[in-house]
Amino acid sequence: DGGITQSPKYLFRKEGQNVTLSCEQNLNHDAMYWYRQDPGQGLRLIYYSQIVNDFQKGDIAEGYSVSREKKESFPLTVTSAQKNPTAFYLCASTDFGGSYNSPLHFGNGTRLTVT
Amino acid sequence: GEDVEQSLFLSVREGDSSVINCTYTDSSSTYLYWYKQEPGAGLQLLTYIFSNMDMKQDQRLTVLLNKKDKHLSLRIADTQTGDSAIYFCAESFPSGGYNKLIFGAGTRLAVHP
């Protein structure tokens, strides 16, 4: 079955360490996204990528970095510069083709806790 | 700026109808979506409506859109315990060549016997 796989489901890190969250999709989607979810808030866009080797900052990109070397993969690195990294991170993809009715498909998320 | 507002909690009795409301600010929205999130999981698309439609029905789900008031609602008929989840409203519009989505904070629906 096609879908989006995020790993790991839970991640614990010490403050000051960089950490990379994995996101893989086998939906053959062009566009991939990273969102952050905090309790009582809507999802906020961190980065997105419409095509391999290209990505754009979202609304809260500071302290994060991404790469898009393969169509299927869009890893997110949470750097030590991110002031408040503890959150639930969601990866999504869509069949971007200039069509605005392509809904987002989400992975099951990674819960990151930094102490 | 762009904003989507939802009430945070809704409690209903099993078998009753649930109505979750949402207001948005951007009049250039093309599509409006309803997503469902179960505990510890990602978001699952429930339904969506094009901005020039007033209503869309899909089995137990009815979406109503009042574009003049920028108000969107999701009605779940015959609500079941399995419907307990967080429901997110989102609006989309073209922005810099991609489909930008703005999400509300989510409404937590609790279904009790």
Give A59-69 pLDDT, tens digit per residue: 999 999 999 99
* CB pair distance less than 8 Å for A42 and B41: no
Reported as a single tens digit per residue, the pLDDT across A21-70 is 999 999 999 899 999 999 878 899 999 998 899 999 999 999 999 999 99
The pair of three-digit structure tokens given for residue B22, joined into one six-digit string: 């949402």
Q: Taking chain A, what is the end-to-end CA distance rounded to the nearest angstrom?
A: 36
A1 pLDDT band, cuts 50/70/90, is: low
Neighbours of A6 (CB within 10 A): 21
Distance from CA of B26 to the nearest CA of A (A): 16
B25 close to A (CB below 8 A): no
Which residues, 6+ apart, have CB-to-CB distance to B84 below 8 Å? B109, B110, B111
Alpha-carbon distance values, B13 to B10, B16, B34, B61, B88 (Å): 10, 6, 21, 17, 21
In order of A38, A74, A83, B8, B46, the CA distances from A111 in angstroms are: 10, 17, 16, 22, 23
Which positions of chain B have pLDDT values less than 70?
Answer: 1-2, 97
Reduced to 3 states (helix: H, G, I; strand: E, B; else coil), residue B40 is coil
Q: Percent of chain A beyond pLDDT 70?
A: 94
Residue A40 confidence (pLDDT): 78
Q: How confident is the model over A2-25, as a mean pLDDT?
A: 94
Tokens of B11: 């409690």
- Contact residues on chain A for B93, CB-CB shorter than 8 A: 100
What's chain A's average pLDDT? 91
| pLDDT value at residue B93 | 77
Residues of A in contact with B40 (CB under 8 A): 9, 108-109, 111
Residue B27: per-residue pLDDT: 76
- Residue in chain A closest to B95 (alpha carbons) equals A100
Residue from B6, B29, B35, B99 to probe the interface with A (highest A Cβ count within 10 Å): B99
Task: Give the pLDDT of residue A42.
Answer: 83
Residues whose CB falls within 8 Å of the CB of residue A64, separated by 6 or more in sequence, listed in order: A34, A46, A47, A76, A77, A78, A79, A82
Check CB contact of B1 with chain A, cutoff 8 Å.
no
Chain B residues whose beta carbon lies within 8 Å of the beta carbon of residue A100 = 30-31, 92-94, 99
CA–CA separation, B62 vs B76, rounded Å? 7
Q: Say yes or no: B86 contacts chain A, CB-CB below 8 A.
A: no
| pLDDT band for position A98 (cuts 50, 70, 90) | very low
Give the CA radius of gyration of chain B. 14
**Who contacts B90 (Cβ-Cβ below 8 Å, separation ≥6)?**
A42, B4, B32, B33, B34, B35, B101, B102, B103, B104
Helix (H, G, I), strand (E, B) or coil at B83: helix
φ and ψ at residue B68, rounded to 5 degrees? -65, -45
Any A CB within 8 A of B106 CB:
yes
> Any idea which residue has 């109808």 for tokens?
B17
CA B4 – CA B90 distance, rounded (Å): 7
